[in-house]
Amino acid sequence: MSISADSSYLEQRTERTKWFLRDRFGMFIHWGLYAIPARGEWVRSFERLSVEDYQAYYEEFNPERYDPKEWAKAAKAAGMKYAVLTAKHHDGFCLFDTKLTDYKSTNTKSGRDLVREFLDAFRAEGLKVGLYYSLLDWHHPDYPAYGDSIHPMRDSEAYKRDPARFTNYLDYMHGQVRELLTDYGKLDIMWFDFSYGEVKGEAWRATELMEMLRSLQPDIIVDNRLEASGEEGGSIYTRNPSLYSGDFASPEQIIPPSGVTDEEGNPIPWEACITLNNNWGYCASDRAYKTAKTVIRKLVECVSKNGNLLLNVGPDARGEIPRESLNVLEEVGEWMRRNGDSIYGCGAADLPKPEWGRYTRKGDKLYAHVLEESVGPINLAGLAGRIGQARLLADGSEAYVSRPWNATLYPDDAFFNFARPEHYTYPLPDERDT
């Protein structure tokens, strides 16, 4: 790929991802038939369920309490600006009215196009919308994981002797992506999942898929999992736009120590996807929910490293987000209403990480997130010089450290926000020297 083509690709990617880097915080939603057994989204594979056993969930699926307007309100109140729903996970069940299979929500008792209702509800609340689409498909007869194995391209001689079968599956997969990009209005994110081993890139006919995607929805942004697995989401990234470059890297359950860069060390957009408990799909026995404080710390850490946080909820079989998840989201929203300025449109401060917490920065505003309790006065005056000509605040005044807005809420955390000069200030060194 020539540099010029690469540079125009980078300019296009920069334009496409502007809203993404501004919004910083989204909701991931893993939902499907697996919510009925309530043992996580890999239940079919982990428990080697037979086609008949899993079919029983299809026959039963009728989420009578599904109200995506409620989901959208909860996401918005939490301070989230976008949301990504599983249109099809690995089990092959389609939450949308595809013409390419009968294995879809509109054929269940509910009869509903769950994706369309999701998109309508979240757009109505002003949130950007994305769809997750599994490249793997344990249901499709021409996908090698049909029935027993969980990884494609198993050394099954019979399968290898008939390469047309995987071609059939790829035609199906491309056809469904085309349906989603054509029949559901403007989508902001396409979240493919996942590649590994030899099944990556052109094994998915990724160039053809990306060219179709870009032609149908030029502004959509795409993750990097046409070439990366979940484990590799935060590390594998290529700038080759004609093949299968995504627009952002997708570290999973971790926050990369120093953000994510491409092969030449240039920062690239990235988004850490993280579960609220330990499961993506609904798991009734998993009560290990993160606290709001933990979620806020993760969000601040992502933004302090130029990244986004995609926080997952797993609705239950009735279509409701678990109460424990909603409780955490409500508390996070309270913090975001007071401190959203230190997240939205912010990024790394290009300063050494302070021992007491983290910085986020937006233009000439610096935000200090003080996470350690035993902190004396924070001497910020010296920072003015450290960040070059940019003043710490747009009006040219000094950095301000406002009192913890509500220390009682986080007794061991104090989140300072340099935006309200009514509290004590630190003189800049040149003024102090006069």
Nearest distance, CB of residue 403 and ligand FHN, angstroms? 39
Q: Which residue is nearest to ligand FHN (CB)?
A: 230
Q: Residues, the chain, total?
A: 434
Distance of CA 353 to the CA centre of its chain: 25
Between residue 101 and residue 160, which ones bind ligand FHN under the rule CB under 6 A? none
Task: Please choose, from the candidates 184, 205, 183, the residue with its C-alpha nearest in 3D space to the C-alpha of residue 192.
Answer: 205
Between residue 297 and residue 356, which ones bind ligand FHN under the rule CB under 6 A? none
**By the rule CB under 6 A, 196 interacts with ligand FHN:** no
Considering the complex, state which of residue 136 and residue 366 has its C-beta at the smaller distance from ligand FHN.
136
Q: Give the separation between CA 244 and CA 208, rounded to whole angstroms.
A: 9
**By the rule CB under 6 A, 230 interacts with ligand FHN:** yes
Nearest distance, CB of residue 192 and ligand FHN, angstroms? 10
Q: Tell me the three state secondary structure of residue 239.
A: coil
Considering the complex, state which of residue 274 and residue 371 has its C-beta at the smaller distance from ligand FHN.
274
Count the residues of the shown chain that bind ligand FHN, applying the rule CB under 6 A: 9
Considering the complex, state which of residue 34 and residue 166 has its C-beta at the smaller distance from ligand FHN.
34
Considering the complex, state which of residue 109 and residue 151 has its C-beta at the smaller distance from ligand FHN.
151
Q: Is the CA virtual torsion 47, 52, 56, 58 positive or negative?
A: positive
Contacts by residues 376-380 (CB-CB < 8 Å, ≥ 24 positions apart): 377/401, 378/354, 378/416, 379/426, 380/418, 380/426
How many CB atoms neighbour CB 319 within 10 A? 20
**By the rule CB under 6 A, 232 interacts with ligand FHN:** no
Angle (CA) 83 84 90, round 5°: 160
x/- site string to ligand FHN, residues 24 to 53, per CB under 6 A? ------x----------xx-----------
**By the rule CB under 6 A, 273 interacts with ligand FHN:** yes
Instruction: Give residues with Cβ within 8 angstroms of 382, minimum separation 6.
Output: 429
Considering the complex, state which of residue 188 and residue 252 has its C-beta at the smaller distance from ligand FHN.
252
Could you give phi then psi for residue 94, rounded to 5 degrees?
A: -100, 125
Which residue in the set 54, 82, 143, 194 belongs to the binding site for ligand FHN (CB under 6 A)? 194
Q: Give the separation between CA 202 and CA 212, rounded to whole angstroms.
A: 14
Nearest distance, CB of residue 345 and ligand FHN, angstroms? 25
Nearest distance, CB of residue 193 and ligand FHN, angstroms? 5
Which residue in the set 247, 252, 286, 331 belongs to the binding site for ligand FHN (CB under 6 A)? 252
Angle (CA) 413 414 418, round 5°: 150
Considering the complex, state which of residue 133 and residue 359 has its C-beta at the smaller distance from ligand FHN.
133
Considering the complex, state which of residue 231 and residue 341 has its C-beta at the smaller distance from ligand FHN.
231
Distance of CA 334 to the CA centre of its chain: 21
For every residue of 116-166, DSSP letters joined together read HHHHHHHHHTT-EEEEEEES--SSSTTSTTSSS-SSTT-S-HHHHT-THHH
**By the rule CB under 6 A, 193 interacts with ligand FHN:** yes
Nearest distance, CB of residue 154 and ligand FHN, angstroms? 17
Considering the complex, state which of residue 41 and residue 331 has its C-beta at the smaller distance from ligand FHN.
41
Considering the complex, state which of residue 108 and residue 312 has its C-beta at the smaller distance from ligand FHN.
312
Nearest distance, CB of residue 53 and ligand FHN, angstroms? 19
Q: For residue 414, give the H/E element and its range.
A: strand 414-415
Q: What dihedral angle (degrees, nearest 10) is formed by the CA atoms of 10, 12, 15, 19?
A: -90
Nearest distance, CB of residue 194 and ligand FHN, angstroms? 5
Considering the complex, state which of residue 273 and residue 302 has its C-beta at the smaller distance from ligand FHN.
273
Is 275 within 8 Å of 298 (Cβ atoms)? no
Which residue in the set 122, 196, 280, 426 belongs to the binding site for ligand FHN (CB under 6 A)? 280
User: What are the residues binding ligand FHN (CB under 6 A)?
Assistant: 30, 41-42, 193-194, 230, 252, 273, 280
